[in-house]
Amino acid sequence: MHPLYGPRLKIRRAVSEIERLRGLQESFRSEAKYQIIRAEMNLETGKYVYRAKAIYVPNLDEWGIWVGEIVHNLRSALDGLVFQLAQLNKSPAQARDTQFPIFRHRYTRRIRGGEVMGFEGHRGAKRPARGSGRYMVRRLKPEHQARIEWLQPYRRNGGQTALGRPLNGRWNLLYRLKELNDADKHRLIQVVGAKVGIGPFYSAWGDMTDDDIIFGRTRILKDGAEIMQADSRVHVQANVIPLIAFWKGCKAVQNVSVCSTLSLIAARVSEIVESFAPEFD
């Protein structure tokens, strides 16, 4: 059996579950019914507020459980990779203290108010501080430790989104994986129907400017949520295309698409695992 068989199997399982969620999302989009209605007037702006009205929204309670299982498999795949790399170093790796570190900031740990850069002990000591990134990979070969450190969210190598936003820090896919996995251990991750965008088609009368309409941002389509504001002369017809988005339980992914985010994370984890495959040939 190939050393990476376990991590690969977990990734395949996660990808299969993500595809199942995509199918459920399509069903949700065909069944869910939302309207955009003109509600009260904003006395400060003199414009009418348009709000979402949820006529029928399918139950999404179990999605949090499914998401938790997916992120657990992906996080476990990375830990399995580190375990196997430790074996290459002829180290008696123990699951309880060997894992793939994911740090938004450097491999640091604060001890009694002082910041220790991954090491503890007397001056000149090279003993990794327990809980630091270096401690988690201390059983690996130095070159493997360096490669994993280079993959950390604080490094500027996380790629970019389609809009050019760097995937570093809190945007990094590994950081989002860590936050989702940690959140799932303590509470149910909530998801909810959200709009991928609202394309307001409107007609107006008289002399109007762009200031007569205040477009809303993409947001959770909860019943009663404010979508936009518009002048009384504007007639709005909105095309609502809902998708499933993260809501409460994990701030790192709040308001972003569940399926797209999980797919990107799975692809990143697979890329990392396969990048180490030549080491086992």
Asked if residue 48 lies in contact with residue 232, where contact means CB atoms within 8 angstroms, the answer is: yes
Q: Measured on CA atoms in the order 22, 101, 137, 186, is the torsion positive or negative?
A: negative
Q: How far is CA 137 from CA 141, 253, 266, in A?
A: 9, 27, 22
Kindly indicate the confidence band of residue 121, based on its pLDDT and cuts at 50, 70 and 90: very low
Listed in sequence order, the DSSP H helices in the chain are 5-31, 63-88, 133-136, 142-150, 173-186, 258-275
Asked if residue 189 lies in contact with residue 67, where contact means CB atoms within 8 angstroms, the answer is: yes
For residue 82, pLDDT beyond 90 = yes
Asked if residue 266 lies in contact with residue 67, where contact means CB atoms within 8 angstroms, the answer is: no
Kindly indicate the confidence band of residue 151, based on its pLDDT and cuts at 50, 70 and 90: very high
As a whole number of angstroms, the distance between CA 157 and CA 147 comes to 12
Lowest mean per-residue pLDDT among 23-32, 125-134, 189-198, 202-211: 202-211
As a whole number of angstroms, the distance between CA 192 and CA 221 comes to 8
For residue 107, pLDDT beyond 60 = yes
Quote the pLDDT of residue 206. 47
Asked if residue 81 lies in contact with residue 7, where contact means CB atoms within 8 angstroms, the answer is: yes
Lowest mean per-residue pLDDT among 152-166, 214-228, 236-250: 152-166
For residue 199, pLDDT beyond 60 = no
Kindly indicate the confidence band of residue 119, based on its pLDDT and cuts at 50, 70 and 90: very low
Asked if residue 153 lies in contact with residue 102, where contact means CB atoms within 8 angstroms, the answer is: yes
**Cross-strand partners of 111:** 114
Average pLDDT of the residues in 161-181: 76
Q: Percent of the chain, pLDDT > 90?
A: 42
Kindly indicate the confidence band of residue 235, based on its pLDDT and cuts at 50, 70 and 90: confident
As a whole number of angstroms, the distance between CA 74 and CA 270 comes to 9
**Cross-strand partners of 192:** 245
As a whole number of angstroms, the distance between CA 244 and CA 130 comes to 39
